[in-house]
Each structure stands twice: as structure tokens, then as C-alpha cells.
Structure 1
Amino acid sequence: MNFSTDQIMKWIQHYESFGPLPGFLLPLLEAFLPFLPLFAFVLANVNAFGLWLGFLISWGGAVTGSFIVFLLVRRFGQQRILTFLKRNKQVSQMMDWIDRHGFATLFPLLCFPFTPSAIINVVAGLSHISAAQYLFAIMAGKTVMIFTISYVGHDVFSLIHQPGKTAVIIVVMALLWAAGKQLEKRLQK
């Protein structure tokens, strides 16, 4: 594959020509298929539509997708398909933790780019947290996470041409990942 600056610019222009709908739908779809690269979708959006519009498109899709997953699990989570999750000791403990602490637990988890938000959506759907409280937590947490990714990636070309900026970003992302892992370990205790 050719990853020259010209080729990347062509991909971004081609992506931009489809309008904001794919930019909204891809982060929404990532909530259902967590193996999809949300990071890449956000980068594509901010490079195609600019920092603010790209951020808003990505944020809207990610929040909508997460909330739909939450609502589907809430609606169908009591049925046989998901009852095995409720029997799992760790899932049960996390549900209890969310029930007791609500927003205070969810917000920091949703802020970190490397937190498995699909798991959080499912566990929150199985818990007793109110839909309004969860929506608020998703909106706030995804704002921090997606804006961080957007800000970091809004100028991909500077990352290519300025290795110092790239190194700083890699260090910040590694620190966010490490902080997320530490928070995850604390919550498991």
C-alpha cells in the first residue's frame, strides 16, 4: 500500500465526498462491532470535515450507538440470551458497582480511548442505572474521549512531518492507556 501524503489526501477527499452520513454511521456501528477502529473513524472525520464538525459527527455517532446498545440490552437483557452474563461474577460485581456509584463510575471509564466501551454499554444495560443518567455519562465521557482523539489527529500531516509532535502524542496515548488500565484494576477490586 502507498501511504504517501498525496495518497492519504486523496482518501480523505474521497471520504469527504460522501458527506457526513458515513462519518456518523461508522462510529455508531463501532458500538455494535467493537473490533472496528473508532480511533480511525474519528481521525478520518476530523481530517475530512475539520476539527469541530468532524468531532461533532464522530461524537454524535458514538453516543447514539452506545445508547442504542444500552437500550437494546436493557430491553432484551433479562431474556435467556444474556442471562449467562449476569451469572458471571465479574459482570455481577461491575453491575453492583454501577448501581451504587452510577455516573461517578461510568464517566471516567468512558473518557479513556482504550476502555472497552462495548462491555460498559452491556453491563450498564443489565444494571439498574437510569437511562437518563447513562445517557448523560455517555455524552460527557465520549466528549472527552472523542475530543482528545480529534485534537490529536486533526492534522495527520503534521504527525508525519513533525516527529517530536508524534512522540508527544504517543506518550500521551500511552499514559491514557495506562491510566485506563489502572482504573480498570481498581474497579475490579
Structure 2
Amino acid sequence: MEFDLFKEWFTLENIQELLSEYRSFGPLPGIILPMLEAFIPILPLVVFIMANAAAFGLWMGFIYSWVGACGGALIVFFLVRKYGQKRFFSFVSRHGKIKKLMDWIERHGFGPLFLILCFPFTPSSAINLVAGLSKIKTSQFVLAVLCGKLVMVFMVSFIGYDVRALFQQPIRTAIAAIIIVILWLVGKQFEKSFAQAPLKKTNE
């Protein structure tokens, strides 16, 4: 019950009030909130990005969200990459689905990883963790995160910059809805193709 209440609190209105209350801290709240999502997957990254755009303006809100989202992703990646041989991560990496995702990331590299990170509904926290456990080149992952998050954060920021316009301008609302549906469908196709991919055999 408390968990449900915790999730329900993270609405656009509540986050905007939070940012307004701590405006004296400058850009820090706008950066920290998207960064936290990399560590706590249940947090709504899309809501944070929209609230930043509404509170700080389109461009500054976009920059704060992008810095926070990329910073959180890279911190998780480097922590897992450094401590990936520890008992917990070693256990996680032996899980069938995790091994399959690790293999997929290693085989496909930058391109598909970039595309996946462009989608606002991708479980990026899991991607960061598994990428850290995989053997993907650090430069590939960093570039994919910086570029993929750039596209995703700007798109969501553009939608969240003026939420009222979504209700007052039907054409803009329809375009935004179509974009979201397309991204959701494409993301599902990636998820389906990954689930059907064969698991690479490893020597025990």
C-alpha cells in the first residue's frame, strides 16, 4: 500500500511544485531527479523531464534533464563495470535473460543500443546495468547514451514544455500522440526481437 502511494505521488504537478520549492538550489534539483532514475527504476523519468521543461524552460530544462539522465546512466555503468566481478553481480550475470541481453549488447554494439535509448519507455536502468556487465566498449556505450538520451530527452522536453498547448492545439496533441505510439511500438519490436534471439553458447 505504501509502495503504491509512493508511486502515485510522482505526478507532474507534484514534481513541478517540488522544483519550485527548491528553486533556490538552481539547476541541482532538475539534474538530480533524472539522475536518480538510473538508480531507482520505478521513478518516472518522463515526468521529471516534462517538469524540468515546464519549470526551467524548453532549452534549460532539456539540458538539465539530459545531464542528469546521462550522468546517472554513466555512473551506474562505471560502478557495475568496476565491481562487476563481485558476488552479487556475478550471480546476476549468470541469469539466463541477463546473459542473453549481455550477448545482444556485445554483438550489436552502438547502433541498436543508441536506438533503444531514444525511446522514452525503454527500461534504461536495466540496460545500464547489463551493459556494465557486458564486454561492450566503454566508448560505444558512452556515445550511445549521450546521443540516445539527447533524442529522447529533447522529444519529451518539447512535449512537456507547454502541456496546456497539448489540450488547446489538437493537431499538436495528435502529432505528439502519434510519435509516442510509434516509439512504443518500435520499442516493443526491439523487445520482441531480443526475446526471440538465441542465447550464445558459452564454455563452462
Q: Does the TM-score normalized on the shorter chain lie above 0.5? A: yes
User: How far off is 1:99 after superposition?
Assistant: 1.5
CA distance in 2, matches of 1:15, 1:150: 20
Q: RMSD value over aligned CA atoms? A: 1.9
Residue aligned with 1:78, SS:
coil
Match of 1:162 in 2: 169
Specify the code of the residue in structure 1 equivalent to 2:159: V
Matched, 1:27 2:34: yes
Match of 2:4 in 1: none
Residue aligned with 1:136, SS:
helix
Q: 1:9-65: CA deviations, max 9, x gaps?
A: x83754645421100000011110011111111111111111111101100000000
Identity of aligned residues (%): 51
Residue aligned with 1:36, SS:
coil
Q: 1:63-105: CA deviations, max 9, x gaps?
A: 0000000011111121111222211122112211211221123
CA distance in 1, matches of 2:32, 2:61: 13
User: Of residues 129, 141, 151 in structure 2, which corresponds to 1:144?
Assistant: 151
Match of 1:118 in 2: 125
CA distance in 1, matches of 2:178, 2:76: 32
Match of 2:107 in 1: 100
Specify the code of the residue in structure 2 equivalent to 1:75: K
Match of 1:52 in 2: 59
Going from structure 1 to structure 2, the CA distance change for 1:144 and 1:183 (only over 3 Å counts) comes to same
Specify the code of the residue in structure 2 equivalent to 1:74: R
Specify the code of the residue in structure 2 equivalent to 1:77: G
Give the TM-score, by structure 1 length.
0.88
Which residues of structure 2 form unaligned runs of 5+? Answer: 1-12, 198-204
